[in-house]
Amino acid sequence: MNTIILVEFILYCIVIVWIGYYFSKKTKTQADYLLGGKKLPGWALAFSERATGESAWLLLGYTGFVFMTGLSGIWVAVGIACGIIFAWLVLAKKFMTETDKYNVITLPDYLAVRFGEKAKIIRWLTSVLIAGFLMFYISAQMAGAGKMLFTTFEIPSAIGILIATAIIILTAFAGGFISVVWTDMVQSVMMLITLVGLPIVAFVYIYTNDLSISQSLATSGDSYNSWFGGLTGFSLGVLFFNNFSWFFGFLGGQPQLSVRFMALKNNKEANQGSIVAIIWTFLAYGGAFLIGLAAIAMYDQGSFADVETLLPTMVLQLMPPWLAGLLLAGVLAAIITTANSQLLVVTSSVTEDIIHKALGLKISDRQLVWLSRLSVAFFGLVGMIIALVSESLVYLIVSWAWAGVGCTLSPAILMTFFWKRYSSAGVIATILSGLISTIIWISTPLEEMVTSRFTTFFIAAFFGIIFSLLIPDKKENI
């Protein structure tokens, strides 16, 4: 274990926890705890949204995915980049104005208030959907922390998961949304430094050691040096849609991302955030893709028992200890920033949408804040338990959660924003069909043929349209 790297890790964790404690003093109401009181600048929200969206799966999962697939892995990045650009340029301001118009602080709250005819059913369904799938997403982040700490310090993965859980709960527990956004900003910068700096050093290493990426792609397998995986016809279409399909989860349906849009103050802040988020996306995804390609030249296929340990392995090999510690802190940053944001979303679904709104319990803002804090601790421990007993890959778990939440709620949000005939029955049909189809799809061999990220979006949209036309809201009849 390198002492310099260990000291940097400890100092980094102390700084992150201190930021959470400092901003806890500014959190007085439930709106502050869950949405920051709409007091945060657009550029900070953009850094936070990007760090939250690109978690351990980008640094660990996606880099390993490119290492295993080659050039065709680019379509994942293209799909995600298109989704992010669309969300910031088209949906961000719409979320901001709708939040002000209906005076809501969560995504389930917005859908329930917007379709008041069946508000309670919509609130329950949306909250259960979000809480259920995001718990697995949170566990994926904790599992990623275990892998990184094992690779870096040879700490058993279980101990690494326990350490990450403690940091995640402490940062989210104290200050809520405000502290999460500001810690996100620090961590977003750390992630960007890692994703931009590592491929530069890797390419210098490849050049000085007379290695060749193109030759390595050719010798790794027939599909590695083809942008379309060497496929044609129907198989090519399946490959493209499976990789590009991450796009559909970015269309407003990820509550941990959409809440950043809801927290925007005005159009100026929204424009500022759009610029920051789009630039960050191109730099981060370009860097992650290049890291995967560089690894193909540096390592033989089969060199890793778990390809999701590729990035920390490269950092330890290529960087001096003092810099390796900083860059690996960027990996830990990705894990923490996504997990604590998702913890807040799960907490808001339970405390604000179910206990406060659906059950109608009359409790004060101070009591709601403490209820939310206790929920953060409870659900953090639940996520830790799932991570300890699960052997699934980070990439795979995130993919399922992306389909179950993002690709179910995205059509609901799009139709709410842009289709006047969308009805409360349509919302219920969208959520139920998305939930059921995702569970069926990932439990059968169908997932290996066409990803649920693609099918869930269109199944949910189809049923939402049909039931809106068959059962319009009363105001439509009038």
Looking at residue 238, its pLDDT comes to 62
Q: What is the pLDDT of residue 476?
A: 45
Q: What is the pLDDT of residue 478?
A: 34
Q: How far is 248 from 430, CA to CA, in rounded Å?
A: 14
132, 386 Cβ separation under 8 angstroms: no
- Write down the pLDDT at residue 273: 93
Q: How far is CA 412 from CA 155, 253, 282, 424, in A?
A: 43, 8, 28, 10
Given this model, what pLDDT does residue 205 score? 92
pLDDT tens over the chain, length 478 residues: 467 777 877 787 777 777 767 766 665 555 555 655 577 888 989 998 888 877 667 887 888 889 988 888 888 888 889 999 999 999 999 999 998 898 888 888 899 899 887 888 998 888 888 887 777 777 877 877 777 777 777 778 788 888 878 877 776 666 567 777 877 787 788 888 889 989 999 999 999 998 888 888 888 877 888 777 665 555 656 666 677 777 888 888 888 888 889 889 889 999 999 999 999 999 999 999 999 999 998 988 878 877 877 888 888 888 888 788 777 776 776 677 677 777 777 877 777 777 777 777 777 767 777 777 777 788 888 888 877 876 555 556 666 777 888 889 999 999 999 999 999 999 999 999 998 988 888 888 877 777 888 889 999 999 999 999 999 987 644 3
pLDDT of residue 90: 93
Q: Which two tokens stand for residue 38?
A: 């709409």
C-alpha pair distances (Å), 258 with each of 23, 109, 129, 399, 424:
22, 13, 16, 18, 21
Residues contacting residue 59 through CB under 8 Å, at least 6 positions apart: 191, 194, 195, 288, 311, 330, 331, 334
Sign of CA dihedral 164, 166, 171, 177: positive
Q: Do 256 and 52 form a contact (C-beta atoms < 8 A)?
A: yes
Asked if the 3-395 domain carries CATH number 1.20.1730.10, the reply is yes
Where are the chain's structural domains? 3-395
Q: What pLDDT score was predicted for residue 397?
A: 66
Specify the pLDDT at position 36: 59
- Residue 346 has what pLDDT? 80
Cα separation values, 329 from 19, 83, 134, 168, 356, Å: 16, 27, 24, 14, 37
Residue pair 385/436 in contact (Cβ under 8 Å)? The answer is no
Predicted local distance difference test score (pLDDT) of residue 173: 66
